[in-house]
Amino acid sequence: MTAIHGTRADGSPIADRDVEAMADEAEAGYDVEEILRRRQGGRPALGRGPSTVESVRLDPDLKRDLLLKLKAAEQHISVSELIRRAVRTYLRAS
């Protein structure tokens, strides 16, 4: 009987033969430069530089209205994106 050692991200099981194959691959060595070239860390940039995270407290009514506005407009954007757009609009108007 084959032992299962966990699952991959797609949910498929990792069996003994998979562990052996991974160990063989590791023992053969990796091309570090290739790994670094393929690596894409973090979220995509929102602007020219690193983004900051700002906390905004919303009272329950404002949050409800915000979510209803998104649903009514059938916009497939996140609450964060809607807040960013609102701030941009406010800054352009002033």
CA gap 46, 91 in Å, rounded:
17
CA gap 10, 17 in Å, rounded:
18
pLDDT score, position 90: 95
Tell me the pTM: 0.49
Strand (E) or helix (H) holding 7: strand 4-7
Compute CA 56 distance to the chain's CA centroid, rounded to the nearest angstrom. Answer: 20
pLDDT of 48-87, one tens digit each?
877 888 899 999 999 999 888 888 777 788 888 888 999 9
